[in-house]
Amino acid sequence: MRVEKKYLVAEVEEHLKKSDYVILTNYTGITVEETAELRAGLEENGAEFHVVKNSSLRVAAKALGLPDFGDDLNGPTAIIVGGENSPGAAKVVTKFFKEKKKVEVKSAVLQGKLLGADDIKALAELPSLDALRGQLLGLLSKPATMFVQVLNAPASDFVGVLQSKVRAENGEG
């Protein structure tokens, strides 16, 4: 393998090692300004957008034990990697495609499993990581809240009985 090709493969390997996911996209027709806009949106979610050569991506993916991308490595290919927020990156690229009709998702690998474009759209529809954390916290705190209410119920009932007795003795009720 030529030195230049080894360098390109090593560069792609470094990109792939940044996260447990990689999203493959077709970036045909995207302008420099639109690329900057997409990169800025991805950066907010800790993700990066890189144009790569298909042959370099194929070799790097194989070296890292990722699934074979098959026919998805045809035509212009860019990858989205980085961070732990794969739903956030999927949201950005899906929204960008809806608005611009560019940067079409080909496929993705998430935690070593090959996903299709429809799977990425489903991933994009998930709530954000912060929203999921909030929902989980709500679910975890609800049993504790209910437990406290159950513990307080006998005391509340007892106080209610005492108040009724006092009212009865004072002729209020």
Write down how long the chain is.
Answer: 173
pLDDT for 90: 84
| pLDDT tens digit sequence for 134-158 | 888 887 777 777 777 777 777 777 7
- pLDDT value at residue 40: 92
Q: How many CA atoms lie within 13 A of 126 on its CB side?
A: 17
Rounded percentage of the chain residues whose pLDDT exceeds 90: 6
pLDDT class for 98, splitting at 50, 70, 90?
Answer: confident
Ranked by mean pLDDT, which of 73-77, 117-121, 122-126 comes out on top? Answer: 73-77
The confidence score (pLDDT) of residue 130 equals 77
The answer to whether the beta carbons of residues 71 and 107 sit under 8 Å apart is no
**pLDDT, tens digit, 9 for 90 and up, residues 24-81:** 888 888 889 988 998 998 898 888 999 899 999 999 988 888 888 888 888 888 898 9
Phi, then psi, of 128 in degrees rounded to 5? -65, 165
For the chain, give the percent of residues with pLDDT over 70.
98
92: CB partners within 8 A, 6+ apart? 38, 41, 42, 44, 45, 47
DSSP 109: E
Residue 123: partners with Cβ closer than 8 Å, 6 or more residues away: 86, 87, 90, 108, 110, 115
Kindly indicate the confidence band of residue 173, based on its pLDDT and cuts at 50, 70 and 90: low
Residues 93, 67: Cα–Cα separation, whole Å: 22
- The predicted model gives 72-101 an average pLDDT of 84
